[in-house]
């Protein structure tokens, strides 16, 4: 297999990051979770009081972006690339519901997207990466070697996310999760800059009824056919 850039896109909780991690491990590639970058910036905004009355205080956040350092480090104990915000491992913090409920508001800010996309492209310069997000195959790497678009219903995705949260210190009700996912779907697909959409040359994989392992095996078959 050659040195590929594999782009995985789809709505929230379609299992993009899980698939990307499994593929990266199987292929010996590096996994980059682009959504984690937006979540880290959202966490920064929350911790610095940059939300008011359900809105982002953009005039306060944008000048601070130059002071935000985001990078990934390999956790040798679990083999995962984990995200650091200004020197702190925030992998667990960025998965909490408060961040999930605000991340789409942050992700639509043009200056935030410029910062994140620039970093994502730098990380992908040497290929052999699997990157997941919402605009990887359309904006970040429009020339990616292989593009996958994951698809599952909002109900299936909400149940998946709900069950994940039950195992954390910050559980939520199914109704809360479904509402959050529905709102994020709308914001992600209608924002002015880099809205979520399937790239014309992306291969759709419906995984609502598939386990993470089954989803990976299905994509590995696609990669095999791609290389033949």
- CA dist 11 and 177 (Å) reads 14
The token pair that represents 187 in the structure block: 């914001």
The reply, when asked if residue 10 is annotated as ligand binding, is yes
Q: Which is it for strands 70-75 and 80-85: parallel, antiparallel or unpaired? A: antiparallel
Residue 46: predicted pLDDT? 97
pLDDT of residue 107: 92
**Joined tokens for residue 165:** 């949260």
For the entire predicted model, the pTM comes to 0.82
Please give the C-alpha separations between residue 162 and each of 87, 93, 100, 166, 180, in angstroms, as whole numbers: 30, 17, 12, 6, 11
**By percentage, how much of the chain surpasses pLDDT 70?**
99
For residue 138, give Cα distances in angstroms to 36, 121, 165, 195, 206. Answer: 18, 13, 30, 9, 19
- Residue 189 annotated as binding site: no
Tell whether residue 15 is among the known ligand binding residues. yes
| 8 A C-beta contact, residue 15 and residue 23 | no
Q: Tell me: is residue 12 an annotated ligand-binding position.
A: yes
Regions in the chain scoring below 50 on pLDDT? none
Known binding residue 17? Answer is: yes
Q: Is 131 exposed, middle or buried (0-12, 13-18, 19+ CB in 10 A)?
A: buried
The token pair that represents 175 in the structure block: 């109704």
CATH class of 5-223: alpha beta
Cβ atoms of residues 157 and 50 within 8 Å: no
The 10s digit of each residue's pLDDT in 128-172 is 899 999 999 999 999 999 999 999 999 999 999 999 899 988 888
42: annotated binding-site residue? Answer: no
User: Binding site annotation covers 87?
Assistant: no
């Amino acid at each position: 297999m050659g040195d590929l850039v594999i782009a995985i896109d789809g709505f929230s909780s379609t299992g993009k990051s899980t698939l990307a991690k499994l593929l990266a491990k199987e292929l010996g590639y590096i996994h980059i979770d682009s959504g984690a970058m937006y979540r880290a910036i959202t966490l920064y905004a929350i911790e610095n009081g940059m939300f008011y009355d359900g809105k982002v205080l953009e005039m306060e956040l944008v000048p601070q972006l130059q002071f935000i350092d985001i990078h990934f480090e390999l956790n040798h104990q679990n083999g995962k690339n984990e995200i650091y915000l200004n020197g702190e491992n925030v992998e667990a913090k960025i998965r909490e519901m408060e961040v999930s409920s605000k991340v789409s508001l942050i992700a639509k800010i043009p200056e935030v997207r410029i910062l994140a996309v620039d970093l994502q492209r730098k990380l992908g310069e040497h290929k052999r990466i699997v990157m997941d997000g919402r605009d990887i195959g359309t904006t970040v790497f429009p020339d990616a070697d292989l593009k996958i678009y994951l698809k599952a219903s909002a109900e299936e995705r909400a149940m998946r996310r709900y069950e994940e949260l039950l195992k954390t210190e910050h559980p939520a009700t199914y109704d809360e999760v479904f509402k959050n996912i529905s709102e994020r779907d709308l914001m992600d697909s209608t924002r002015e800059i880099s809205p979520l959409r399937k790239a014309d040359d992306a291969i759709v994989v419906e995984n609502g009824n598939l386990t993470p392992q089954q989803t990976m095996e299905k994509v590995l078959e696609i990669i095999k056919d791609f290389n033949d």
